[in-house]
Amino acid sequence: MNVTTQVDGAPQVDGAPPIVIRKMGFSFEDLPRHWFGGDPIRTHVINGLHFVFPAGERFFIRSLKPFVDKVSPQLRERIRGFSGQEAHHQAEHRRAFKAIEAQGYDVQSFLAWYEKLAFETIEPCVSPLSRLATTAALEHYTAVLGELVLATDTLNDCHPLMRELLMWHACEEIEHKSVTFDVLQHIDPRYRTRVGGFVIGTTVLFLFWGAGIRHMLVQEPRDEIPKSTRQALTVLSSTLSHLIPRALDYLRPSFHPNDHDNYALARAYLEEIGRLDA
């Protein structure tokens, strides 16, 4: 990793933008129940993400801690920026799922199950190195998802309150996408470590995300769902056709997050909303 420039706080690396911690303070008052195009399926696909993000991001921050003193001061400073951004993501997504709870959905029973299984059963069985590799892989997924929402019209008929949250989060995932990968490469550059993290990360992501979606869909009246199935399947197939090849690129031995040229997408959106620098 070549550090090239010092920019307010976290240093800039190899063309990567500075990692800026932005306080957003979104409000989700008056959010409709089916805030994604009036469609319960698409709404709950993203609601499932709201539920897994905060605890997942807490895990990401924790997984880096054992290695903070083992990397260069420049990379340590980027970890600080990464952790600051992830802490704010947690807070904003918690606010979003409080709004979803206020709409009458049960959220707490899912969170209790998810956090107990993830942190009391799975996490203690995984070594600190594998936790780091898992975070690196999951950060790849969040950057790929971020690119998807910034580069396509996927969120066009999303309610503006949720669109703003998701677009901001997407930008910051792209800004800090290389941090954990660079820490992992520094600590253990073996390909098998990276792949091991990808296998664990992929399994837990789709297990918990899928369970979150299911938890929400079963709370809908049965006659609501069939109406939205066809449109949701169309969106899902175009999403997966973008997501799968980009996600699997992580398995290319020479892969680095900067190989995906998407920093300009994040910059353009942040400039548009006047939040590029703070």
Positions in the binding site for Fe ion (CB under 5 A): 86, 89, 139, 142, 173
Quote the least distance from Cβ 236 to Fe ion, whole Å: 22
Nearest to 175 by CA among 15, 8, 58: 15
Q: Which residue's C-beta sits nearest to Fe ion?
A: 89
Give min distance, CB of 30 to Fe ion, in A. Answer: 25
Closer by beta carbon to Fe ion, 41 or else 149: 149
Identity of the amino acid at 180: T
The CB-of-205 to Fe ion minimum distance in angstroms stands at: 13
What is the per-residue DSSP string for 16-70? PPP----------TT--TTTBTT-HHHHHHHHHHHHHHHHHHHHHHHHHGGGGGG
First to last CA, the chain: 25
Nearer to Fe ion, 39 or 173 (CB): 173
Q: Which of residues 180 and 228 has its CB atom nearest to Fe ion in the complex? A: 180
In terms of CB distance, is 41 or 64 closer to Fe ion?
A: 64
For residues 219 and 48, what is the distance between their CA atoms, to the nearest angstrom? 13
- Compute the least distance from the CB of residue 218 to Fe ion, in Å: 27
Nearest distance from residue 219's CB to Fe ion, in Å? 26
**Do 51 and 97 meet the contact criterion of CB atoms below 8 Å apart?**
yes
For Fe ion, which is the closer residue by CB, 43 or 142? 142
Run of H or E residues at 237: helix 225-248
